[in-house]
Amino acid sequence: MKRFALVAVCVMCFAAGAGVHALVAQSNKLTYNAEDIKAKTPKDAAKTLLDGAMQLAEDGSWERIAVGRAWYLGGDKAKGQTIFDLVTTGKKVKGSDWFRLARVYEEAGEWDKAKTAFDKAIALDSGDDSGMIEYGALANIHKDRAKAEELFAQAMKKNPRDIWNWANAGGSYLGVRPQ
């Protein structure tokens, strides 16, 4: 009798799992159609793919930032910024989210916005020495040597033997962007 009960419970769990899987698959009818994409203008193809990416991103902050980055750097800054704002006004925003946004703004040539985002990132994650080095290196490249050296000192105090910190800080004095 115990064996029968165990088998019955296993079958019920399997059936429930299969039902949930079917519901999820049914509700997520996202499909990629190469021929459909080929027939669209580049802008319409981008919209189709980025809308799909947004669906797949669900509530993932880095994923949504990646979609926003494509819009922002691709010419629709308003749409990208809207996505960024949704991430940064959420309850779960982290320093790493602000670092990713700072990189987008810096890549877009908007150093003032990048600095603000980097400052928020450091405030939320003051233990991130590699983030401090990255911010410092970019500050150095953007001719803010005092800020760069302040950040380098903080980061090196936290992790004085990290080769990447040394290489990225040093390279910034030669105009080399951190990697």
Question: pLDDT of 14-27, one tens digit each?
Answer: 544 544 344 344 44
Helices (H) and strands (E) in the chain, counts: 10, 0
Give the number of other CB atoms < 10 A from CB of residue 7: 10
105-123 pLDDT, tens digit per residue, is 999 999 999 999 999 999 9
Would you say 37 and 25 are in contact if contact means Cβ atoms under 8 Å apart? no
Please choose, from the candidates 166, 116, 158, the residue with its C-alpha nearest in 3D space to the C-alpha of residue 139. Answer: 116
Vertex 36, ends 30 and 37: CA angle to 5°?
Answer: 90
pTM of the shown model: 0.81
pLDDT tens readout for residues 130-173: 999 999 999 999 999 999 999 999 999 999 999 999 999 999 99
CA 71 to CA 78: how far, in whole Å? 8
84 and 108 Cβ atoms separated by less than 8 Å: no
Percent of the chain at pLDDT exceeding 70 = 84
Give the C-alpha separation, 86 to 120, whole Å.
16
